[in-house]
A and B are shown apart, each in its own frame.
Chain A
Amino acid sequence: MLSYLARRLMLAVFTVWAISILSFAIIQLPPGDYVDAYIAQLAASGSIVSQQEAENLRTQYGLDQPIYVQYFKWMGQCFRGNFGMAMEWNRPVTEVIGDRLALTMVVSIFALILTWGLALPIGIFSAVRQYSIPDYVFTFVGFIGLAVPGFLLALLVLYFGFTLFNANIGGLFSSEYLEASWSLGKVRDLLGHLPVPAIILGLAGTAQAIRIMRANLLDELGKPYVVTARAKGLPEWRVIMKYPVRVALNPFASTVGYTLPYIVSGSIIVSLVLSLPTVGPLLLKALIAQDMFLAGTIVLMLGVMTVIGTLLSDLILLWVDPRIRLEGQ
């Protein structure tokens, strides 16, 4: 078991390294650099930057050095918790990202809780009452949830909110709390705004989770140990919840690591439609402006979160499934 853990940890470190190179490479790929984009931006507003000033800017940001030097400098700074300057904002990256990363996590985790909170009971119900009317209804709703892309759902919700209730559903805060510092009122306001984006983000995942839960449980329900438990006179509730459900939960433990990053990834597009203050819109803007430290840090953060999630899911699987725990002993 320890060697298993050590192997996973090694792999995680290696993966983070691969992701850091990849994110750096992506940012380096576009022709030109931030200074070019900056000059073009200034030129559009009428001011002209001289050759000398451009060179000074490049030296200041270290853009005149070879790529691998830039990479090692960037990584070295990252280890010290300094992710560089967000050039467009003229502020440290950590300052620009901070709140938004936290809000991204809040929205994503809320969506995940909602996904499982809805999907697991519904999945169990659908399996136990297979081919009943609610089962058909849930299956149908599940398919719709799978088929409607998140951004489209967000757009529809916005549209109906706008036409039917004349309400603007976008955003995470009411206007009076937008610039306010954190307080109990602001937290309450945030909680009030969370359900809509969380439901939109979680719907596709929920649909999928219902189907997985239903299929797994149906496989288990036909097995002899369930019949035995029933024959021994266990109450139906316990027969189902104690044994087959526990087995059917396994795939969820093994996918928790992928679900969270999947939701974070999905939240980028939905955030843009709903104008949520998460990292998604920031990443889009940073990529367009070639603000490489900002974009690189966001991609790196998302990658690291995925790796941590995968590691967590390995641990959970180890805890849930004794077959893996006992492997190799």
Chain B
Amino acid sequence: MADVITATGQVVAAPPLSHQPLLTSVAEERISVASQWQLMWWRFRRHKLALVGAVVVIVFYSVVVVADFLAYADPEASDAQRGLISPQSIQFFDEGGFNPYVFALKGRRDPITFKRVYTPDPNEKLRVRLFVPGFEYKLLGVFPASRHLFGVEGAEAEQSLFLLGTDLQGRDVWSRLMYGTRISLTIGLVSVALSLFLGVLLGGLSGFYGGLADTLIQRVIEILRSIPTIPLWMGLAAAMPPDWTVLQVYFTITIIISLIGWTELARVVRGRFLSLREEDFVMAADLAGCSRARIIFVHMVPLFLSHIIAATTLALPAMIISETSLSFLGLGLRPPAISWGVLLQQAQNVQTVAISPWLLLPAIPVIVVILAFNFLGDGLRDAADPYN
């Protein structure tokens, strides 16, 4: 419709249709026999940004799996002798060929400002190699390993690689970023799954049975929605037993938040159930003697499963934002846990950031992954309803 009316408001005659059926019959036949998931994939594929988003999300979750392999320095290894080193650039070509190296750094204290300054030593080149041995870790949590994707051969404290510089305590920002990715991207997963479950279950009950159950659930939703989340979160963070580890505390809070976070999805699911309940195929299934559970899970749920997937993709970035914001305030995760928010906490002070701006670098993955999730979710939502 929108194509036929031009922006100036004139109605333009649609092109003659006489030859179209013949020309498109092959494609049309392909579409008419395609399954629902195939149609969704075709439509999703057209959304280029969503495809890019999907790739970025996959890359980030690969980092989660092999974070210790990608990190070249122990994220906890601190050394006051190398605090606040600025990011080093790798020189890729040397002696007429591809032979990456970095200059060794000489640290000394400025006699006037008492700041530590680092100067590259042009006589000492440190070769950057692939699969170098380093600190020990367990690959995938099982296999003991000590090789890392890249690093400096024979690395020592003062002569090492600082791809993204070091923080105040002299810990390598790149390696910490890798570990932070692992926690920031996984800590919210359980709570998103739980809200998803509650949302579908309660929304489904509300929509399918109606009546008293519906009224009750709707009232509960309205009450839960008027509870301001951040004050609640702050209160809960202050209220957790002090002898718990930071991860335990944070995990518990995400679970509690998920107990109030299911309302949005429940509304959507309820709406879908209300409209689907009246459809002929539901009555047909009922008359054919299908059980309630079979009608719901085999006949109704597949119709809005895609919506649920899209809703989940959009719920994940919200979890990531909560984590970074609250950890940044010191209310979410706290050191020694490593997450993006914890890393950004070092950048809380403007003066510090002005002197060592690389401490703000962890903001980049936050923004990139949230954008990617949003594009992906958008594409999924568009593709979710292929018969539209």
Hey, which bits of chain A sit against chain B, CB under 8 A?
11, 14-15, 18-19, 22-23, 26-27, 29-31, 128-130, 143-144, 146-152, 155-156, 158-159, 162-163, 168, 218, 221-222, 227, 230-231, 236, 239, 258, 261, 264-266, 268-269, 272-273, 283-284, 287-288, 290, 295, 298-299, 302-303, 306-307, 310
Contact = CB atoms under 8 A, between A and B. Distances in A.
Contact of B235 (A23, A239, A264): A23
A152 B363 contact: yes
Contacts of A158: 350, 353
Contacts of B230: 265-266, 268-269
Contacts, number: 141
Contacts of B1: 222
B219 A22 contact: no
A239 B1 CA distance: 16
A105 B161 CA distance: 49
A225 B143 CA distance: 66
Contacts of B228: 261, 264-265, 299, 302-303, 306
B25 interface: no
Interface string B236-250: 111101100000000
B219 to A, nearest CB: 7
A273 B7 CA distance: 45
Contacts of A128: 7
Given A15-B226, A18-B223, A162-B350, A152 B366 contact: yes
Contacts of B363: 152, 155-156
Contacts of A273: 348
A27 B235 contact: yes
A155 B2 contact: no
Contact of A148 (B9, B236, B354, B367): B367
Contacts of B219: 11
A314 to B, nearest CB: 10
Interface string B348-366: 1011011001001001001
B212 to A, nearest CB: 15
A129 to B, nearest CB: 7
A320 B9 CA distance: 27
Nearest to B238: A287
A57 B183 CA distance: 43
B347 interface: yes
Would you call the interface of chain B mostly helix, strand, loop, or mixed? helix
Contacts of B235: 23, 26-27, 29, 287, 295, 299
A303 B222 contact: no
Most A C-beta atoms less than 10 A away, residue of B317, B347, B363, B375: B363
B345 to A, nearest CB: 11
B187 to A, nearest CB: 16
Nearest to B239: A29
B232 interface: yes
A265 B347 CA distance: 22
B227 A19 contact: yes
Interface of B: 1-2, 5, 7-9, 11, 219, 222-223, 225-232, 234-239, 241-242, 317, 321, 324-325, 328-329, 331, 344, 347-348, 350-351, 353-354, 357, 360, 363, 366-367, 370-371, 374-375
Given A143-B371, A227-B5, A230-B5, A22 B227 contact: yes
B225 A258 contact: yes
B226 A19 contact: yes
A162 to B, nearest CB: 5
23 contacts: A15-B226, A19-B226, A29-B238, A29-B239, A128-B7, A147-B317, A147-B370, A148-B370, A149-B325, A151-B328, A155-B347, A162-B353, A168-B350, A230-B9, A265-B231, A268-B231, A269-B325, A283-B231, A283-B234, A290-B238, A298-B231, A299-B228, A302-B228
B325 A151 contact: yes
Contacts of A261: 226, 228
Nearest to A150: B325
A4 B370 CA distance: 40
Contacts of B324: 149, 152
Nearest to B7: A129
B239 A306 contact: no
B329 A239 contact: no
A232 B7 CA distance: 16
Nearest to B237: A287
A159 B354 contact: yes
Most B C-beta atoms less than 10 A away, residue of A155, A231, A273, A310: A155
Nearest to A29: B239
A27 B234 CA distance: 10
A130 B1 CA distance: 13
A302 B231 contact: yes
Contact of A26 (B8, B236, B321, B344): B236
B1 to A, nearest CB: 4
A272 B230 CA distance: 13
Contacts of A239: 9
A310 B230 CA distance: 18
Contacts of B225: 258, 310
Given A15-B223, A152-B363, A288 B229 contact: no
A144 B15 CA distance: 39
A284 B367 CA distance: 26
Given A236-B8, A265-B231, A268-B230, A26 B239 contact: yes
Contacts of A29: 235-236, 238-239
Nearest to A269: B325
Contacts of A310: 222, 225-226
Contacts of B317: 147
Nearest to B241: A31
A15 B367 contact: no
B231 A299 contact: yes
